[in-house]
Structures are given as structure tokens and as C-alpha cells.
Structure 1
Amino acid sequence: MKNIDVKSFGAVLLALTTSHCLAGEPADAGEGTVFRSLFGDTLERDYGITVSGLVDAGFSRNNNSSQRDRNSGQTNAPVAGLADENFELATMHLFIDKALKTNFVPRVTPLPGPAPSEASFGFTLEAAYGRNAQQARTYGWDMHLGINSPGDDNPDKARRDKQNFLAIPNFAGTAYLPYAGGFTVMAGVFGSGLGYEIPPNIRAARNPFASRSYAFMTESGAVSGVLLGKRLISNDSMLLGAELGVIQGQGNLRDNNDSKAVLGALRWRTPDMQTWIDYEFLVGDSQNDSTGDIQTPRGRLISRDGQFKQQHSLNGWHRFDQKWSIGGEMVYGHQEGDGKASTIDIVTGPGFDQAHWWGANMVLTYQQRKNLSLSVRAEHFDDPDGYVLFPSSTARGAFNAVTAGVRYDVNKYLTLRPELRYDWFDGQDSARPFGAGDARNQLTGTIEALVYF
């Protein structure tokens, strides 16, 4: 599908978005429609297993690139989202899920109501194919699948060829156990749930834009390990839940430093779920113990000694009324370095001593009607050491952006998300992170289509 025909893709979009009119189906969600039409609803009705899909694709341009530039990939970088200009198949997803009967949804939220008295077991599986699947892969799991060659070992060639990748970022079992008030367990490979924006662009995802914030780029995608969750408080005043897990590190199933990391969260909600605040963290050593198993860009350091990394996110959301809502996030991260000659940064060389970063962003949304919303996002992200946005950028300084976007649900199958985004960079030196390394600002226009089936 590397050279996907745009006209053929358009025909698929048209077929999916008009089929409900021909079949006379109700105007509900389109997720699972194709599977149910082919195989019936036995799995869902009798076993609670849902099978659905999502195509995330779009077209973008920025004001820095020449026609020659656009023939090479990732010319919107370091802006995250649709990285390639012109048409891009960002991701095509397959989801297979069996939800729990629980009072706490793992990585998401505590739930109101009585705690179930019986055990419940489920699972989650997600496969993703496309340009963005390149960043969703996990070392020791799907990093070097045959279909990902040669770009898995040659990122520059993958960029030039605009190579699509296959990733399986969720493959985990889940359980609710009705002991001590009930708690959940998730084990396997799964998304970390760290940060305000969560991949992928499912209908319930928090991000209303085609592009992502810089904070999103710093937060771990897939992790592997075990995560426990529990609702701690449920009364007329609040809901409070907590999660704690032990994982192999960021994007890592094959341990490269013999040291586990810890993932955790506190999740507070009002009883009506109209306001929530989450604090989330991921802490642990982040270095490659030797040159024999370098996992980059997840770990930029090579060292025989542990180099501790921490990432924190405080994020929340509030609905004022049926029209207005606001959300936002603050992030902070720090990578320790002992400064020894044997502690090597693959970008700056020996003697790495430390790096830190922080950022804040806010999103204001106006729900004009049920199927149409308008949003504005402002963000500031400071990476004074040029560390955490690698490989998209090693520029030392502050990234700023203002984004305006629309979400229009055409029908139950198709959502359109056009946006206009302006980024500018305040650097400590002459670095120019936009364009082909020749610009300190960028105007990007994007039209994204989300097809649910």
C-alpha cells in the first residue's frame, strides 16, 4: 500500500460513507459495521467481543517546503500527526476487544456505581498499518517484522520512500477481580495511557485535532508489563482511582538495561464525570547497557551505569455546559546523566550529564451542534537541551504553536478534521528546526479523514 491510489481510496471512502443510506441503518456509530455485516453479531451478542476498524488518512501542506522537498517524507516535522505532505495513510487500525465488567477501566477512568461482585476477564488487541505505525512499534515485539524491512534498520530510507509500517501496540489480557472492593489487572503489551492525548484517533479520544502537541511526542506509546488499577473512592463528592505497574521501559519488551520502570496514575472525577484531573508518571533507568542492543530513539544514551529518567503529566478537562469545554496538560521530564566519559549520548557524544524539558498546552472547544465542533489549542514546549524531541528535532529552545481546527461528523462512518496550525521556535542558538532546516516558523494546513467501520 506504499503507493496507494488516491482515487481508489476515495472510492472506498464514498462506499463506506454512503452505504448506511442504501441499507437504511440508523444513525449510530459505524464501528464494527463491516465485521457484523460479513460475519453476523454472534461474537458481540454471545461473548461481548467487538471487532472494528479505523482508517486515518489526510492531506497536508506547509509554507516552507518546495515541490522537491515534498517528494521526501516527514517534511512537516517536527510537527506530529500527518508528518508527510500531500496524501498520507497515517494508520489503518484493526481493533478486537472484550471489555470488562468493572468499576475501573484500565488506563482510562474509575466508574461510578456499585462494584461488581463477580470476576470478569477480557482482552484488547490493536494492529496498525501505515506511516504512523513506525513510532508505535515495540522492541522485542513488532519492531523487526518482515513487512517493516528495510526501514526498520534504515530510518532515512523509510523517510525517503514514505514506507508504511505494521505495529501491534496493544496485545494484552485484562481482568477484574472482586476482592478488596475490586481491582483490575492488565498484562501484555499495551498503550501507557500517559498524557492528555492518547493514540489512536478513536471516536472517544481526547484530541480534536489532526496534529498532536509537542507534549504528546515526549510521552511513551506502547509499553510491556503488568498494570494494576483500583477505584479508591466513590461517593457523592468524587471518584478517585489509582494505577501502578511495572514495565520494561518505553517501547520495550526486550530489556536492554536489566532495570524495570514504574508506571502509575491518580485519576479524579466528579460524580457526573463532567470534570476530571489525572496525574500520571513513568520513571526508571533509560539507557542502553551496551552497543550490542541499542534501542534508539527510545534510549539515546549508552552507559554501563543506570541513568534515571522521569516523565510526569498533569492533565484535565471540564465541561462548562452543552456548548463549551476546556482541557489542558502540563508536562515535565528529566533525564539524569553522570557525566562520565563512558556515558555517551549518540547525538552529542561522551560525557552526557543531564537534560530536562517541560511544556503546557490548553484546548478550548465549542460544540456548535451534535456533529460539529470548533477547537483552538495554544501550546508552549521548552526543550533547552534539544534532547526529548529526537529524532524529529535536536534544536535547543522553546517550541510554540497555535492550532485552530474543526471536527465534522459527516455521518456514522466519516469524520473530517481540517485544521490550520502556526508554529514558531525561540532558540538558544541559530537552530532552524522547520522546513529543510532553514526556518524558525511554519504554517501548516491539514485535512484529515477518519473512517470508522
Structure 2
Amino acid sequence: MKLSKLALLAAICCGTTASAAGVQSGYYQDNGVQQVGHCETGCDVDMSACDMGGCDGLPSCGCDSGCDSGCGMGGCLGGGCLGGECDLGDPFTLFGEYEGFSIGGWVQMGYHTAALPLFNSRPDEYQLHQAWLYAEKAIDTSNGFDIGGRIDYVYGTDSQDTQAFGIANNHWDNDWDNGTDYGHAMPQLYVEAGYGDLSVKAGHFYTIIGWEVVTAPDNFFYSHAYTMYNSEPFTHTGALATYNVGDHVSVMGGYVFGWDSGFEDNGDAFLGGVSVGLTDSLTVTYATVGGRFGDGNINRVVDGVVGRGENGYMHSIVADYAVSDNLQYIFQSDLLDTEDIDGATVRDTFGINQYLIYTLSDCWAVGTRFEWYQADAGVFNTDNDIYALTSGVNYKPHANVLVRPEIRWDWVDGDPTDILENSDDDQFTFGIDTIFLF
């Protein structure tokens, strides 16, 4: 069964055009793609589009067609940018920025047709995932020493998945629940100081592990990967230093109180890594956490099992490759291996995630994610290989609005019990969310 489904997947992937909206290292950014108009109009254009068929035979794609406002290759069909001019307008903020201080946030609301053992666990219901507020003083070391920090607060169905649940004693924000699924969380509260190329943050902050993140606007897809949810920490409490060795190399290292805990000891671990720009197009980041991860209940492993400590090692390797100005490919590999104090395996997982993201314009992008997640121990009740293929679109009708429809196919090679909805061995899910930024 595994070989036949992999063959089918290969055929699907080879016939799929994937794409994206400028995602880099897990953060949604403007990628500065050069604008393309008609190749023979005398406009300031990227002539490489002619070789790729982007302008041939399309005289309506001229300087006055709206293509100068952000359309890339293929965006001029119909005389405009996918049916209309790509004009995002000026972004607005509720509070703005003053002398390095900024306050902002977003509201994410979404709907999906089936339950996933991830963030998207409440199907067939339009829900508030994240009502997010943050206040930040970003550091600026261009003139020497500076100090800043950040605080984040979130309410919604995603909040219970980003609380300090690493210790089952309702410390920090772990008891800020409002019913079964909704609740509050304060996933970040830290100070940061820097001088020159060195900065240090201390407090409660998000992990550096992996490519996907909790914050909705910083991901391409509405749904999440199994690897991110089951095999990576979300938050740490401790101290982390970052040193920019040069323009293309950054080194990180610090000490944290295990995984997913607030300001209470839940372990002793090293958190660190290195990010290297091997070429102008390729960046590779290795991040690791190793040591003692937790002493309390390991709620993310098997609910109700009293933990006997968790010691071990995990890493993520992320390669981010800009194939062209418009096309981005990301490869991620994660390994997790932990034991309890008696040497028995607690978690043993391995995952590979691949993303292909193509930017059509400032307004439109498409993408595909394929994941193979091997959970040998500690995550589900049985040994399983899980596969997930997701294809989606990012549409920005305004600089402050992002709409993300997607379709997802999950299947299990092994015992599907307690993994997918209704214990089936495969599942199709449609999902769509909207993010309003302010």
C-alpha cells in the first residue's frame, strides 16, 4: 500500500504547479519580485519572462494594463492581473510605531471540514483561531548598545496549543481556558539587549526549531504539519544569544528550562543552532535542543500518562532555496529521540517536509506542501507512517487582509486508530481562513 500511494503522490507532485507569497524562514514577507509587463512595449520589464512564455502573444498586457502594479509571469491574462489590478493599498495600524516601540496584532478566523490531530481540531465550525495582540520594542544596535523586548497575548481555539502545558500544574497561562477549546495564552514575555552583532534575549519566547510557527500570518498554509505539532517545542523559558558572524552566518546558543513551560523549572537543555547563507539563493539552518525536556506530565505525548522525565535530543535542518525570483523551495528534516529516567523510549519520530511556493503577484500566490511523518513511539498509540499533501492559495485583497483556502489529503500507513477522524486510513479536508492584520 505504501509503494502504490507513493507512486500516485509522485505523479500528483510532478503534475502540480506550486507557488508562493514570499515566505522565508517561516515568516511571510514581501519578496520584492520584479514587475513584468509586455515584452515589446518598451516598459521597464524583466526580459527573462519572454523566454518563459509570460508575454508572447499578449498585446493586452501593456504598460497601462495594471501589470506594473505587481503582476509577475502569467499575471496579465485578460488584460489585468488575474482579472483585476493588483493594488494592495497602504497598510494601516491601530497604534503605529514610535521611537522603536510598536503595538499591533491580527485576527484569524477559519473553517475546515474535518478534524486533524493538530491545531485544526474543531471541524465544521467557523471559529476564532487567534485574536492576537503584541507590544514590542525592537533593538537597534547600529549605534551601539540597545535594549528592548516583547509581550504577546492570544485568545481563541489556538491558545491552548501554545500555553505553557509542559508542566501539568496549571502554572503560568496553562489554566487560562475558556471551555473545551477556547482560551487565553501569553506565549512570549522577554527582554532583549544587543550591542553590535551580538544580541541576547531572556524570558519566555518562541522556539527557533523548525520552519512553521504558531503565529498565523507567518505561515503560508492554514493547517500545520504533524512534525511541527508533535515533534517540536513551541516555547522556551531561559536565555538565548545570537551572534552575526558575518553577512551570511549567524550562530545561536543558550540555556532553557526544557520545553513549553512558563517561569518554572521543567528541565535543563541547550538550545542553539547556526544559519549559513551558502549562496545568494540557498540558506541552510540547523537548530537543536538537547538535554532534559520535562519532569511533569508529557501531555503532548499520550494524555493521562504520568511522565517520568524526558531526556534526549532533537534537531531540525531547513534548506531554503530561491529557485527563481518567483519560485521558492523549502526542505526540512526533523529528528526526535527521547528516553525516561529508566532508559525507556518516550518519543521516537522522524519527519520530512517539502514546500514549493510560487509568487504570481503581490496579491496572489500558490503553494504545495508534502509531509512524511514517521512516529515510531510516544505520539500515537501505534507505530505509524503518516503522509499529508496540501495545496493552497494565498490571496491578499488588501495589505491588511490575507485569505488562505487549501485542500489537504492525509493518509496513514499502519493502524489509523485515534489519528484521523472516524479512524479512517485516509481523509480529505478543505479549509479556509482569513487574517486581518492591524
Q: TM-score range by the shorter chain?
A: 0.7 to 0.9
Shift of 1:268: 1.2
Once the two structures are superposed, the pairs formed by residues 30-429 of structure 1 within 5 Å of their partners are 30=92, 33-36=93-96, 44-45=97-98, 47-62=99-114, 76-81=115-120, 83-102=122-141, 116-138=142-164, 139=167, 140-145=171-176, 148=177, 151=179, 158=180, 163-178=181-196, 182-202=197-217, 205=218, 207-217=219-229, 218-234=231-247, 239-255=248-264, 259-269=267-277, 272=280, 274-288=281-295, 294=297, 296-297=299-300, 302-303=307-308, 307-337=310-340, 339=342, 352-385=344-377, 387-388=378-379, 393-427=380-414, 429=415
Question: Are residue 435 (structure 1) and residue 421 (structure 2) matched?
Answer: yes
Aligned to 1:445: 430
Question: In 1, Cα distance between the equivalents of 2:123 and 2:190?
Answer: 31
Question: In 2, Cα distance between the equivalents of 1:430 and 1:410?
Answer: 40
Aligned to 2:6: none
Specify whether residues 175 and 287 from structure 1 end up closer, same or farther in structure 2 by C-alpha distance, changes over 3 A only: closer
Total equivalences in the alignment: 344
Give me the TM-score of the superposition, normalised by structure 2. Answer: 0.73
Question: In 1, Cα distance between the equivalents of 2:373 and 2:88?
Answer: 44
Give deviations 1:337-358, integer Å, cap 9, x for gaps: 4557xxxxxxxxxxx4454110
Shift of 1:331: 0.4
Shift of 1:298: 7.0
Question: In 2, Cα distance between the equivalents of 1:59 and 1:123?
Answer: 34
- Name the stretch that deviates more: 80-89 or 213-222: 80-89
Question: In 2, Cα distance between the equivalents of 1:53 and 1:323?
Answer: 28
Question: In 2, Cα distance between the equivalents of 1:317 and 1:98?
Answer: 28
Extract unaligned runs of 5+ from structure 2: 1-86
What SS does structure 1 have at the residue aligned with 2:353?
strand
Kept in 2: contact 1:188–1:226 (CA 8 A): yes
Question: In 2, Cα distance between the equivalents of 1:57 and 1:240?
Answer: 37
Give deviations 1:38-61, integer Å, cap 9, x for gaps: xxxxxx23x211111201111111
Question: In 2, Cα distance between the equivalents of 1:270 and 1:117?
Answer: 29
Question: In 2, Cα distance between the equivalents of 1:335 and 1:212?
Answer: 23
Give me the TM-score of the superposition, normalised by structure 1. Answer: 0.71
What SS does structure 2 have at the residue aligned with 1:266?
strand
Kept in 2: contact 1:396–1:431 (CA 8 A): no
Specify whether residues 297 and 215 from structure 1 end up closer, same or farther in structure 2 by C-alpha distance, changes over 3 A only: closer
Question: In 2, Cα distance between the equivalents of 1:172 and 1:381?
Answer: 33
What SS does structure 2 have at the residue aligned with 1:86?
coil
What SS does structure 1 have at the residue aligned with 2:398?
coil
Shift of 1:445: 0.1
Question: In 1, Cα distance between the equivalents of 2:262 and 2:289?
Answer: 16
Shift of 1:280: 0.5
Question: In 2, Cα distance between the equivalents of 1:177 and 1:298?
Answer: 40
RMSD across aligned positions (CA): 2.3
Shift of 1:144: 2.1
Question: In 2, Cα distance between the equivalents of 1:378 and 1:83?
Answer: 23
- Write the letter of the residue equivalent to 1:27: G
Specify whether residues 268 and 255 from structure 1 end up closer, same or farther in structure 2 by C-alpha distance, changes over 3 A only: same
Question: In 1, Cα distance between the equivalents of 2:159 and 2:435?
Answer: 16
Specify whether residues 28 and 430 from structure 1 end up closer, same or farther in structure 2 by C-alpha distance, changes over 3 A only: closer
Specify whether residues 248 and 79 from structure 1 end up closer, same or farther in structure 2 by C-alpha distance, changes over 3 A only: closer
- Write the letter of the residue equivalent to 2:216: N
What SS does structure 1 have at the residue aligned with 2:148?
strand
Aligned to 2:14: none
Extract unaligned runs of 5+ from structure 1: 1-24, 37-43, 63-75, 103-115, 152-157, 341-351
Give deviations 1:403-445, integer Å, cap 9, x for gaps: 0000000101211000000000011x46362113x21111000
What SS does structure 2 have at the residue aligned with 1:198?
coil
- Write the letter of the residue equivalent to 1:142: D
Identity of aligned residues (%): 22
What SS does structure 2 have at the residue aligned with 1:94?
strand
Specify whether residues 256 and 190 from structure 1 end up closer, same or farther in structure 2 by C-alpha distance, changes over 3 A only: closer
Kept in 1: contact 2:331–2:352 (CA 8 A): yes
Question: In 1, Cα distance between the equivalents of 2:330 and 2:150?
Answer: 27
Question: In 1, Cα distance between the equivalents of 2:162 and 2:240?
Answer: 19
What SS does structure 2 have at the residue aligned with 1:216?
helix
Give deviations 1:299-358, integer Å, cap 9, x for gaps: 96533xx64121110012121222211112100000124557xxxxxxxxxxx4454110
